[in-house]
Structures are given as C-alpha cells and as structure tokens.
Amino acid sequence: MKNNTCMIILIVLLSFQAKAQQILTKKEALKITLENNYGIKIAANNLAIAKNNTAIFNTNRLPTVSASSGANYRSDNQKITRQDNSVTEVDGAVTKSYNASLNLNYTIFDGLGRKYNYEVLKETYNLSEIQAKETIENTYLQLFTLYFQIARLSENNNNLKEALNISKQRLERAKYKNLYGQSTKLELLNAEVDVNNDSIALINSKQQYLNAKRSLNIVLGKQKGVDYEVETVVTFNQILNFDELLIKAKATNVLLKKTEKNLAISKFNIKINSASYLPRVGLTSSYGWNKSQNPATSFLAQSSSNGLNAGLNLTWNIFDGGSTKTRVANSKIAVENQQILLQQQHETLENTLKNTWSLYNNKLFVLRAQEKNVISSQNNFDRTKERYNLGQVTSIEFRQAQINFINSKTAYNNTKFDAKLIELELLQLSGELLNTEI
C-alpha cells in the first residue's frame, strides 16, 4: 500500500512537471498569432471592406429605382365670380389629391468616370491586400523578436544559474578553509559578495524573462500564462547572394508594391478628373398615377391619370470656372510625387539591404569566433578550477576565469539570436519572410 501511494505521488509530480515545461514551438506560436492577433484581424476586416467596394453595386453601373406616393387634403372657404356676375360661395370646400409613381434613373455615359472609378476600386483592393501582407510581416517579425528574446533570456538564465552554482560551491569551500584557518576572512567575504551579485543578476534576468513572455502574449492575442518554455535551437537559412536578394527585394518588397499601387491609383485619378470635360447622358423614366377630388367651385369634380413617362437628358458643363482644370493639374502633380517617392524607396531599399547584408555576414563571422571563445574559456576555467582546488591560484583569479567563461557563453548566445533576427529582417526586405521556414 505504501509503494502504491508513492507511485501515485510520483506520477502526479511528473504530470505537473510536464505541464510546467510545456513547449511553445515556433510553428504553434505562429499559428496562434495568425488566428488571434488583433492587428491581423483588423487587416482582414479592412481587406473585406475593400473587396465589398469592388462589387458591381458600388460602381454606379446599375440604374436607381425609387417609389414615391402622397396624399393631400385641403379645406378652405371659396368665393368665385363668373363673367356673367354670378357668384358661388362654398364654406369648407374640400380638395383631395393622391399620387404614386415608380421612377428609374440611369446614367448612360458619364465621360468614362465610372470606368476609371472601378479601376481605382480594384487597385485599392490590391493595395489592401499588400497592406494586409505588410501587417502580417510586421507581426511575424514582432512575434519572433519576442520569441527569440525569451529563448535568449532562457539560455542566459541557465548561464547565470551555472555561475551562481559555481559561486555557491566556492563560498562553501571558503567557509571550510576559513574554519580551519587555511584562508583569510577577506576571501570568505569576497565569496559571499560574488554569490549575492550572481543571485541579483539571476533575479533581474528572470524578471526580464517573465516580462518578455507577457509581451509575447499580447502579440499572440491570447493569454497563455507564463508557464511555457520556447525552443532555443536556432537554424540559419541558406540566404542567396546579394544580387539575387536585391532582385527579389525590388520585385516583392511590400513598401515598393504599396507605392506602385498608389502610383496606379494616382494615374487613374487624372482620367477620373478629366471625365468632367465630357458630356453626361442620362435616361429617366417613371410610371405614375394621380387622382384628385375637387369642390363645387372647381370646373372638374374629379380627375385621375396614369401613364409612362421617359426621356433622355444631356448635360455638358462647358465651363466650370476652371475647377476641372485645377483638379487635373493637381492629379498630374500627385502622379509625379508618387514617381519620385518610388525612386527614393528603390534607392533606400538597396542601401538598407546592403547595410543589413553586411551586418548579417559580420554577425555570422563573430558568431563563429565566439564559438571558439566559448571552448577556450571553458578550458581555461576548468584548468583554473583544478589549480584553485589545489591552492595554486587565488580566489580573484578563479573568479575572473569564471566571469570570462560565463561572459563568453552569454556573448555567443546573444550573437546567435541577433544574427537570426537580422536574417529575418533580410527576408522581410526581400519579400520572402512569409515563404521561409524559421
């Protein structure tokens, strides 16, 4: 019975530990973000609005149909005098009238403004698609910036825990040596200070770790608590050479694509404003019914009518005071501005890409060098530790070897994640961020 109880307790403890160490993978984090992130939801709604705007119901290509009806009642005192001087007086003469009609209006020709407005709506939808992609890319980058920050802090915490354990072992050794008169009180005090400093560094790092998790939850759009771990393994993609990267960037970069769509819209705006120079032709038609009941003073006791009415109308604004000319001129200037902006963005993109490419390769070089530093500092620390245990080096020398070892591991860890984030920036600039496995 006692063995069964111990087994149950062990199973429960293992289940709690498994739950506490739940891994939030990169794929799972991305899936949750795409489903729940607030910015992505808003971008999707804006895209749906743009799609609705491209429907035929928003293009002014369909006729408008309206119905109207009315009733009128009038009561007044009337007195009429005829040519033969006879007089008729009626008090409370009542006049009643009724009407109803069905009306149709259709613009046959509007100077092609309708056509170019529809083209603008289609380009606006395309622009909304690019803006949605931009939102997803920015969120993607924000997500993995925080994700890798958590991974970085997780590994740094392990380094700090290792440093703290080494300092605690040194403190225990210093206590025994001081107890048996093999060292001074100063060495013991130094060991205590180092343990305190390492403890504070670990506490501060753990706080940053928890804060980063809470920030990640905002990007995820879902409160997951902070009891999860993240993947700390980093793999680098095989990035193309710079020339191929630049070609991809100029073809798919979202900032360039946005400006290209705005340029297309500006060009259509010239044609829309120029449409005011041309005449407009419209069709109007209605079917109506009218009825009236008149008092005795009226020539007709009552009347009614119904029938169809149709007509064509042409409107040509020959001179509008120059407002159309001004709008067309301003539209041409807007096109020129978009062309200048596009040229500027091409040059800025190439410059940014060069800088990021250079920084990325520099980080990879530094990463390889720091990997060697970790091995060297590990060997140095191990040898220093052996000599310290034999009393051949001072505690200050041992502490310096310990600091060098931990710092080299932390520097390698930081450079590793910095290089990965710069890689993501390169992929975003080239428009390949969403098509690449992280």
Does residue 7 form part of some domain? no
Weakest-pLDDT range from 269-278, 290-299, 363-372: 290-299
Same domain? For 182 and 292 the reply is no
Arithmetic mean of pLDDT over the chain? 89
* 38 CB burial (10 A radius; 0-12, 13-18, 19+): exposed
Given this model, what pLDDT does residue 88 score?
Answer: 73
244 contact partners, CB below 8 Å, separation of at least 6 = none
- Mean pLDDT, to the nearest integer, of 70-83? 78
Given this model, what pLDDT does residue 296 score?
Answer: 66
Given this model, what pLDDT does residue 128 score?
Answer: 95
Range of the domain at 86: 66-109+280-315
Same domain? For 214 and 285 the reply is no
Q: How confident is the model at residue 174 (pLDDT cuts 50, 70, 90)?
A: confident
- Mean pLDDT, to the nearest integer, of 107-133? 94
Does residue 261 form part of some domain? yes
Same domain? For 213 and 174 the reply is yes
What would the DSSP string read from start to end of 210-262?
HHHHHHHHHHHTS---S-EEE--------PPPHHHHHHHHHHH-HHHHHHHHH
| Structural contact between residues 152 and 356, judged by C-beta atoms closer than 8 angstroms | no
Same domain? For 103 and 120 the reply is no
108 contact partners, CB below 8 Å, separation of at least 6 = 281, 282, 283, 312
Does residue 386 form part of some domain? yes
Does residue 299 form part of some domain? yes
Question: Helices in 301-394 by DSSP H: which ranges?
Answer: 323-389
Weakest-pLDDT range from 172-181, 246-255, 306-315, 428-437: 172-181
Given this model, what pLDDT does residue 96 score?
Answer: 86
- Mean pLDDT, to the nearest integer, of 66-73? 92
Same domain? For 71 and 155 the reply is no
Same domain? For 330 and 191 the reply is yes
- Tell me the percentage of the chain whose pLDDT exceeds 90: 71
Is the pLDDT at 182 greater than 90? The verdict is no
| Residue 437 token pair | 């496995």
Same domain? For 262 and 311 the reply is no
Q: How confident is the model at residue 12 (pLDDT cuts 50, 70, 90)?
A: very low
Does residue 138 form part of some domain? yes
Is the pLDDT at 360 greater than 90? The verdict is yes
Q: How many domains does the chain have?
A: 2
432 contact partners, CB below 8 Å, separation of at least 6 = 248, 252
Q: How confident is the model at residue 437 (pLDDT cuts 50, 70, 90)?
A: confident
Which 3 state secondary structure label does DSSP give 292? strand
Rounded Cα–Cα distance for residues 223 and 32 (Å) = 11
pTM (predicted TM-score): 0.84
Does residue 272 form part of some domain? yes
Same domain? For 285 and 378 the reply is no
- Mean pLDDT, to the nearest integer, of 405-418? 96
| Residue 144 token pair | 């993995």
